[in-house]
Chains A and B, each alone.
Chain A
Amino acid sequence: MTLLKVKNLKTRFSTELGEVTAVDGVSFHVNAGETVGLVGESGCGKSVTSLSILRLFRKHSGTKLAGEIFFEQKELLTSSMEEMQEIRGNQISMIFQDPMSSLNPVYTVGNQISESLMLHQKLSKKEAYEKTIEMLSLVGIPSPEKRVNDYPHQLSGGMRQRVMIAMGLCCHPKLLIADEPTTALDVTIQAQILDLMKDLQEQLQMGIMLITHDLGVVAEVCDRVLVMYLGQIVEEASVETLFENPKHPYTIGLMKSIPTIDGKRGEKLHVIEGMVPSLHQIPAGCRFAPRCPFADEKCRSHPPDLIEVSHSHKARCWHHERIGIGGGNAIAIGNQ
């Protein structure tokens, strides 16, 4: 069952230097019970995509949204603000990346979780309090009946992230958008949080949209992956396909940038050459062409489309047939 369907989403910001398109024609879907990863460098439009789904932009910020976003049967972009407020937190909820500043310092964590329960589920104060304790123990906070009265500064980063997850999950949303939920945490906590999200997903059958730049996390938890570059999806595939047979040079570059444990000492790490171009100076052809080792004249002048290279595997590259990983981590390319 398709839970969320995004069609040709465009998000434009007006800046002092003119209008920029931060998300340019992104289409994807998330099924119930499925985890979709959204991967890319900082500034590629991952977070903007998630904010666009919930329409979390200020009214007068000059942000323009175009395209279609269907949540179940409902079109979100044409919904009224009241309808959106009903959906936010209740049906679609979001976990932010920074647990240190995502909790209001003047309220106890219990207050903040029960607020959302009282808001959406119309629970009484007492019911919400009980439910909050239940949620806190669900996310694995020890002695939740004590912790519920703690202020955010009394908790560690990992605990705060758990509280954030409890806040996001307390109304049993159908879709959870997790914006780098584990980036600020250390590795052991990271694993616990990811396990926890997986467990809860099975219990509640929710769809998860996981935004991250950590390919390790993607390999661990995602079913399907979308790779974004400069506001566009450049590759979409199931997680196995993506890791075994990536078809876009950017994806390959990302994978090669991961340090390997059996690499030689002192060996230089692979980097993708060049910088992400500014949104004001988008290359005329393929957006990745200036940094791509395989780019030719066609790439520099004609933007490629996102085409299906095999069953449910799409890539935005003119040369996808010649590109792939062959034999370990070396890039094989036809007559280069």
Chain B
Amino acid sequence: METSSVTMVGTKTATSSTKHHAKIAVNRFFANRLAVSGSILVLFISLICILAPVLTSYNPIEMNVQDRLKPPSASHWFGTDEFGRDVFTRVVYGSRISMGVGFSVVMITSIIGLIFGLYSAYYRRLDNFLMRINDGLMAFPAILLAIAILAALGPKMSNVIIALSVVYIPTVARAIRSVAITVREQTYIEAIRALGGKSWRIIWLHIAPNCLSPLIVQATFIFAYAVITEASLSFLGAGTPPPEPSWGNILNDGRTIMKQAWWMTVFPGLSIMMTVLGLNLLGDGLRDLLDPHTNKAKK
């Protein structure tokens, strides 16, 4: 009887205190203007990605020669390109590729970067090995390395994801490693060892959660870089191959006829800018929110 009443009280306070913590977190998030405006932009673009088929009735790759190079109008909001395809439709569907590539790259780099970072922080011998590879990869400019990998693998969306992941994993691994090294030296990690915790438990249950906030911040920035780099690669013809629309290759198509058809470069350009701006704002905001050091300094 008595024990059951104790647990009841316990679980009740547990939920109320979790709710309390969640409420504080939400309030702090909404008080941060950077984070809020960033997330509004990112949400807006994500909605466009999801709702693409609803937003437009045109086909993004079907050509329609009598409609070529029409300026923006009621039927073609962003005008048409040199094959008569609706630029609005192409930009909307292009967002799926840009954001899809960005999101996949973020997921892959976060997971692999976290693993590399944690293990190289924990095992010193592994550290030397992994970090020298890391240094090697980081020595190349991101775009150059991505182009080289794509040249070897061939231009395909999945290959773009692989190339960008390889390019950005070292950045994440570095960031995680530096945090994990500080966490590793904390007394509470030693305390867990003294309590008989095994290495995997220490790494994943005690060091990893303490690295999550820098990882989240890093991930938003990687997302932004990945969107830009994907666009650059497609612009250079090394990324998503035409006729599949991607912001980068729409820009490239419009490049030669920028004087006659400004809409072909302006709209995909604006989309890239908005996405990257949104992600960067969100990243800055999250960094202020999650990092206790900058948090106080800014206020």
Taking Cβ atoms with an 8 Å cutoff, the residues of A that contact B are: 54, 56, 58, 60, 84-90, 93-94, 96, 98, 101-107, 115-116, 119-120, 126, 129-130, 133, 145-146, 148-150, 164, 167-168
Min Cβ gap B87→A in Å is 48
Contact B206 A104 (CB under 8 A): yes
B188 interface hit (Cβ, 8 Å): yes
Distance A81 CA – B243 CA, assembled complex (angstroms): 59
Query: What chain B residues lie within 8 Å of A106 (beta carbons)?
Result: 209-210
Describe B's contact surface by its main secondary structure.
helix
Residue interface bits B210-239, CB-to-A below 8 A is 1, else 0: 100000000000000000000000000000
Closest 6 CB pairs of A and B: A89-B195, A88-B196, A89-B196, A94-B194, A106-B209, A102-B187
Pick the contact of B124: A60, A94, A101, A164 (CB < 8 A): A60
B residues 148-194 near A (Cβ < 8 Å) are: 186-194
A85 to B7, CA, bound (A): 30
A283 CA / B7 CA spacing, docked (Å): 61
Please name all residues of chain A whose beta carbon is closer than 8 Å to the beta carbon of B3 when the two chains form the complex: 130
- B187 and A88 within 8 A (CB): no
Known: A58-B124, A133-B10. A89 touches B188 (CB 8 A): no
Question: Which A residue sits closest to B292, measured CB to CB?
Answer: A105
Is the CB–CB distance between B7 and A126 below 8 Å?
Answer: yes
How close is B252's CB to chain A, nearest CB, in angstroms?
46
What is the CA–CA distance of A133 and B203 in the complex, to the nearest angstrom? 27
Is the CB–CB distance between A145 and B188 below 8 Å? no
Contact B6 A54 (CB under 8 A): no
Decide: A96 and B210 in contact? CB cutoff 8 A.
no
Contact call B198/A56, Cβ cutoff below 8 A: no
B64 in the interface (beta carbon within 8 A): no
In angstroms, how far is the closest chain A Cβ from the Cβ of B250?
44
Q: How far is A106 from B292 in the complex, measured between Cα atoms in Å?
A: 13
Across-interface contacts of A116 in B (CB, < 8 A): 195-196
CB of A88 within 8 A of CB of B10, answer no
A42 to chain B, nearest CB (A): 16
Is A101's CB under 8 angstroms from B187's CB? yes
- A85 CA to B186 CA, complexed, in Å: 19
Complex Cα distance, B201 from A120, in Å, reads 13
Contact A146 B188 (CB under 8 A): no
List chain B positions with a Cβ less than 8 A from chain A: 3, 6-7, 9-10, 13-14, 17-18, 124-125, 186-198, 201, 205-206, 209-210
In the complex, residue of chain B having the shortest beta-carbon distance to the beta carbon of A88: B196
Query: Are the C-beta atoms of A60 and B125 separated by less than 8 Å?
Result: yes
CA distance A90 to B188 in the complex (A): 17
Interface centre among B193, B194, B201, B206 (most CB of A within 10 A): B194
Of A54, A94, A104, A130, the residue contacting B188 (CB under 8 A) is: A104
Query: What residues on B are CB-neighbors of A96 within 8 Å?
Result: 187, 190-191, 194
- Excluding A54-B194, A89-B194, A106-B209, 19 further A-B contacts by CB distance (< 8 Å) are A60-B124, A85-B196, A88-B193, A93-B194, A94-B191, A96-B191, A102-B191, A104-B186, A105-B188, A107-B209, A116-B195, A119-B196, A130-B10, A133-B6, A146-B13, A148-B14, A149-B18, A167-B191, A168-B195
Closest to A61 in B: B124
Instruction: Flag if B17 contacts A149 (CB, 8 Å).
Output: yes
Question: What is the CB-to-nearest-CB distance from B184 to chain A, in angstroms, rounded to a whole number?
Answer: 9
Q: Which residues of B contact A101 (CB under 8 A)?
A: 186-188
Residue in A closest to B201 when the chains form the complex, CB atoms? A119
CA distance A58 to B191 in the complex (A): 14
Interface-centre pick from A101, A119, A126, A145 (highest chain B CB count, 10 A): A145
Looking across the interface, which residue of chain A has its beta carbon closest to that of B205?
Answer: A115
Indicate if the CB atoms of A148 and B187 lie closer than 8 Å: no
Whole-angstrom distance between the Cβ of A268 and the nearest chain B Cβ: 36
Query: Would you call B196 and A120 a contact (CB within 8 A)?
Result: yes
- Decide: A149 near B13, CB < 8 A? Known: A60-B124, A102-B187, A106-B210: yes
Within the assembled complex, what's the spacing in Å between the Cα atoms of A262 and B191? Answer: 41
Min CB gap B28→A, angstroms = 15
- C-alpha gap A146/B194 in the complex (Å): 27
Note all chain B residues with C-beta closer than 8 A to A148: 10, 14
